[in-house]
Chains A and B, each alone.
Chain A
Amino acid sequence: MQRIGVFVCWCGTNIAGTVNIEKVIAAAGEMPGVVYAKDYQYMCSAVGQNLVKNTIKEQKLDRVVIASCSPRMHEATFRKTAKVAGLNPYLVEVANIREHCSWIHKNKEEATKKAIALTRAAVAKVALNTALIAGEIGVESRALVIGGGIAGIQTALDIAEAGYEVDIIEKSPSIGGKMAQIDKTFPTLDCSACILTPKMVDVSTHPNINIYTYSELENVKGYVGNFEVTMNQRARSVNMEKCIGCGICTDKCPSKKAKSEFEEGLRNRSAIYTPFPQAIPNVPVIDREACIKFKTGKCGLCETVCPAGAIEFSQEDTKITKKYGAIVVAIGYDIIALDKFGEYAYTNHQDVITSLEFERLTNAAGPTGGKLVRPSDHKKPKKVVFVQCVGSRDKTERGKTYCSKICCMYTAKHAMLIRDKYPDIETYVFYIDVRTPGKNFDEFHRRAVEEYGVNYIKGMVGKIFPDGEKLQVHGVDALTGDTIKIDADMVVLAAATKAKEDAEDLGRKLSISTDTNNFFTEAHPKLKPVETHCAGIYLAGACQGPKDIPETVAQASGAAAKAIGLLSKDKLVNNPCISEVDEKICSGCLACTKICPYDAITSKVITFNDHGKITKRVVAQVNKALCQGCGGCTVACRPGAIDIKGFTNKQILAEVDALCR
């Protein structure tokens, strides 16, 4: 006869407040196989765990049910406890009487009844549990970082410093990301390039780091410790080995009408181009859509002038497949398109710009050499209006419901930079709320108001009317209830941040989930902020939600630490709850092989003795390393030969029966 122990947790008043623990204990004592039932205030505490441990030994328990919070919370904890007590960890089941019971129901009698039913189901299931032993898998000690912005750069440097190989895959021709475009950084106003470019150089020279620019992730196979990643390196049309980065080709290129992505379209670039002078790698790329040679077959001037003979028009995309133990996703963010915000006249007036465009306009390396002028007529503006929350905190389909988090700070920065350099320019900031939590952040914003004389107006802008050379801004001061008209020369819009267009698609390739805004979902909003639900894949930076640079860097180092922790292991423990074929029953139809998402089921031939006659037969076989334990095959199996350990047919039916009693 089995010896099952039931432990009921009060969780303080969380459970005991609505569930009559005594009654649950009494009922559990009557359940078949149960020899011991006991309660405690906090079962997950050290004292509670000791109670479980000691009881297992004293009562010689061979199975344990913990009635407590969700197994997603503490199943792992109690399995460990059992293991310490010498019991196989898979002989533990958790009955969820908190999230699924005491927190839902207010009627004590009802809740108690349900708690008993849930405990009964767990007891019925655990009675059929078997000891499971987890297998081991090796770990490829190399990490992949997707995205070469500041998040990816920091992650890669940290992992490389720990002594592991890292590859960075970056979509654009150079690493650097959004931070490379930015002029100054808040709240210290140090120059962005001055702190970023040294890190970019570190990345490019680190012996453990490999950079794949102009490359995209194509598909991902495998699992934690053993990801197999295929990427597509787009044809650069320039030989990376031969190119010496002299820049003659970009100078001579006759096609100079393409909009520079790096300059946010404020300047044109040639068809063969390096995005910006500090680009890494410092090797140009030919934009085939703009290149005359590719469009008409004539030209090839770059090839003629290249002193190194590095131009290769015939280059083709190459596929690279490599194995990685861990993956860090750091693809960053974008800002929303403003074509739906017609009232701000962004699409039909050049002097209405986004904040990112403003960064380029004030940047010493930007299209105006850092001189603040209106894009339309290159005159110095006299009045600049900033509008915050353009599309942020917006419930309509044209905006985003969340706060973009960085705009309050960068707008204060922009206004401050203007007032610092040109005290004669008036600046106005329209805001809904100023949100500046963060070290030295609010002080920064107050400085803009108090020392730099930036006019903050609580209220929004209704419409911007182009009015000759001026922009007539109609706003409101919500505090006094005055409507406001400003004849501005320039308007800067703080457009909402958004997830990258391809985030969802990438998420699908990696089997990690995205939220309703297409930001990647962390495994736990508080306690697992850099992990995803997929083991071995971590998140860094703004692809998980809007973030500023300090936060991004902190998370990047966090993700790196997690990846290092994983890579430092020689072996990983497998999930033992995987499929198993009963060869005696298997008919060899192999229906299961077709539905397995991991190609974990193959066939094999077995010989067996049929009343003295030796015959051969095809049966299915499960690859223990590949199977992830979804259980889809068990349903496809007509004879019922495949079952999944930990969730066997018998176990689930026992639960059904127990619940329906």
Chain B
Amino acid sequence: MTRVKVIPENKKNIIDKIIEMSGENIRDCMQCGKCSAGCPASDGMDLLPHQVIRLLQLGQIDRIVESKSIWNCASCFTCAQRCPRNIDIANIMEAIRLTIIRCVGNSRLKADDVPSKVDCKMPQQAIVSGFRKYNK
């Protein structure tokens, strides 16, 4: 384990951007973990939702970007519905995803890959959603 710096200078901008994009105040979080406890997609997550928020509070953005948790989030709003601090965690997850995929070439879902992922029954809704969530 290496010692980390709390809110490193060079991460301030991106954290501010995430906060602005999400419209949520991450300082409201008191780490009760209710979001993680109820998250139906938590099974495959390497960072639980409350840990994502904690890392954001500490400015450790790189660890969030590397994790697969943000891509496991299905925007089901269960966390937002129950958060006692009124934080819409789904918005924060979205903001983090966007800061990544909005960089040129960073789209997670490329148009060329789509045919291989789609079967004949998959509704349009899934494809459009996937595109909106993973591609810019």
- Chain B residue contacts of A474, Cβ below 8 A: 37-38
B36 touches A476 (CB 8 A): yes
Pair A476/B48 contact, Cβ less than 8 Å: yes
Interface segment among A64-72, A217-225, A390-398, A545-553: the answer is A390-398
With a CB–CB cut-off of 8 A, which chain B residues contact A478?
31-33, 36, 50
Can you report 16 A-B residue pairs in the complex whose CB atoms are below 8 A from each other? A391-B84, A393-B30, A395-B86, A432-B31, A432-B32, A433-B30, A460-B84, A462-B36, A474-B37, A474-B38, A476-B33, A476-B34, A476-B37, A478-B33, A481-B48, A483-B36
Residue B82 lies at the interface, judged by CB distance under 8 Å to chain A:
yes
In the bound complex, residues from chain A placing their C-beta under 8 Å from that of B48 are: 476, 481, 483
Nearest Cβ in chain A — how far from B76, in angstroms? 12
CB <8 Å contact, B84 and A461: no
Query: Which positions 1-59 of chain B face chain A at CB distance < 8 Å?
Result: 28, 30-39, 42, 47-48, 50-51
For residue B83, CB closer than 8 A to chain A, the reply is: yes
Distance, CA A478 to CA B37, complexed state (A): 9
Contact across chains for A396 and B84 when beta carbons are under 8 A apart: yes
| Residues of B with C-beta under 8 A to A389 | 32, 84
Q: Which residues of A in the span 375-404 have a Cβ within 8 Å of any Cβ on B? A: 389, 391, 393-396, 399
Tell me the complex Cα distance, A396–B86, Å: 6
Known: A478-B50, A481-B48. A343 touches B84 (CB 8 A): no
A644–B91 Cα distance when bound, in Å, is: 58
CB nearest neighbor in A for B50: A478
With an 8 A cutoff between CB atoms, is A3 at the interface?
Answer: no
> Do B34 and A399 touch across chains, with their CB atoms under 8 A apart?
no
| A residues near B63, Cβ cutoff 8 Å | none
Please give, as numbers and ranges, the residues of chain B lying within 8 Å of A484 by CB-CB distance: 37
From B50, B51, B84, contact of A395 by CB (8 A) = B84
For residue B102, which residues in chain A have a CB less than 8 angstroms away from its CB? none
B85 interfacial contact with A, CB 8 Å: yes
The verdict on A177 contacting chain B, using a C-beta distance below 8 Å, is: no
Question: Are A481 and B34 in contact (CB-based, < 8 A)?
Answer: no
Number of A interface residues at 8 Å Cβ cutoff, please give it. 24
Determine if A395 and B28 form an interchain contact, defined as CB atoms under 8 angstroms apart. Answer: yes
Any chain B CB within 8 A of the CB of A284?
no
* List of A residues within 8 angstroms of B85 by Cβ: 394-396
A478 to B29, CA, bound (A): 13
Cα A484 to Cα B37 in complex, Å, equals 7
Best-buried of A461, A462, A484 by chain B (most CB within 10 Å): A462
A475 to B51, CA, bound (A): 15
Give the residues in chain A near B39, CB-CB below 8 Å: 462, 483
- 20 A-B pairs besides A478-B36, A481-B36, A483-B39 with CB distance below 8 A are A394-B85, A395-B84, A396-B84, A399-B84, A459-B36, A461-B34, A462-B34, A462-B37, A462-B38, A462-B39, A462-B78, A463-B37, A475-B33, A475-B37, A476-B33, A476-B50, A477-B33, A478-B31, A478-B50, A481-B47
The closest CB in chain A to the CB of B87 belongs to A395
A396–B32 CA distance with the chains assembled, in angstroms:
15
Closest to B47 in A: A481
Q: Quick one: which of A480-495 are within 8 Å of B by CB? A: 481, 483-484
**Which of chain B's residues has its CB closest to A478's CB?**
B33
B35 surroundings in chain A (CB, below 8 A)? 462
Whole-angstrom distance between the Cβ of A327 and the nearest chain B Cβ: 37
Closest partner residue, chain B, to A457 (CB atom): B33
Nearest chain B residue, comparing its CB with the CB of A399? B84
Contacts of A394 in B (CB 8 A): 84-85
For residue B31, which residue of chain A has the nearest CB? A478
Which residues from chain B sit less than 8 Å from chain A, CB to CB? 28, 30-39, 42, 47-48, 50-51, 78, 82-86
A391 cross-chain contacts in B, Cβ below 8 A: 84
Return chain B residues, CB-CB under 8 Å to A483: 36-37, 39, 42, 48
Find chain A residues with CB under 8 A from B83 CB. 396
Cβ-closest chain B residue relative to A460: B34
A459 touches B37 (CB 8 A): yes
Contacts of B42 in A (CB 8 A): 483
Interchain nearest-CB distance for A240 vs B (Å): 47
- Alpha-carbon separation in the docked complex, A391 to B34 (Å): 12
> Closest 5 A-B residue pairs measured CB to CB?
A462-B38, A462-B37, A478-B33, A460-B34, A394-B84
Question: Which chain A residues border B32 with CB–CB below 8 Å?
Answer: 389, 432, 459-460, 478
**Which A residues touch B38, using CB under 8 A?**
343, 462-463, 474
Given contacts A393-B30, A432-B30, A476-B50, whether A343 and B36 have CB atoms under 8 Å apart is no
Q: A647-659, CB under 8 A of B: which get 1 and which 0?
A: 0000000000000
Within 8 A of B (CB), among A85-137: none
A399: chain B residues at CB < 8 Å are 84
Contacts of A395 in B (CB 8 A): 28, 84-86
* CA of A57 to CA of B79, assembled, Å: 71
Q: Which residue of A lies closest to B49 (CB)?
A: A476
CA gap between A396 and B33 in the complex, in Å: 16
Q: Which of B37, B51, B78, B86 interacts with A460 by CB under 8 Å? A: B37
What CA separation (Å) do A459 and B54 show in the bound complex?
14
Measured between beta carbons, the chain B residues less than 8 angstroms from A475 are 33, 37
Residues from chain B with a CB closer than 8 A to the CB of A461 are: 34, 37
Closest approach, in angstroms, between the C-beta of B10 and any C-beta of chain A? 26
B87 to chain A, nearest CB (A): 9
- Chain A residues within an 8 Å CB radius of B34: 460-462, 476
Q: Which residues of A contact B31 (CB under 8 A)?
A: 432, 478
Shortest Cβ distance from residue B122 to the other chain A in the assembled complex, whole angstroms: 29
- Measured CB to CB, the closest approach of chain A to B116, in angstroms, equals 32
Q: How far is the CB of B15 from chain A (nearest CB, A)?
A: 21
Q: How far is the CA of A483 from the CA of B35 in the complex (A)?
A: 11
Cα A461 to Cα B34 with chains together (Å) = 6
Minimal Cβ-Cβ distance residue in A for B28? A395
Cα(A357)–Cα(B33), bound, Å: 26
Distance A27 CA – B53 CA, assembled complex (angstroms): 56
Q: Do A459 and B84 have beta carbons less than 8 Å apart?
A: no
When distances are taken between beta carbons in the complex, the residues of chain A under 8 Å from B82 are 343, 462
Q: What chain A residues lie within 8 Å of B78 (beta carbons)?
A: 462
Q: How far is the CB of B4 from chain A (nearest CB, A)?
A: 17
- Which residues in B have their C-beta under 8 angstroms from that of A393? 30, 84
A433–B51 Cα distance when bound, in Å, is 17
CA distance A391 to B84 in the complex (A): 8
Task: Give Cα A391 to B32, complex, Å.
Answer: 12
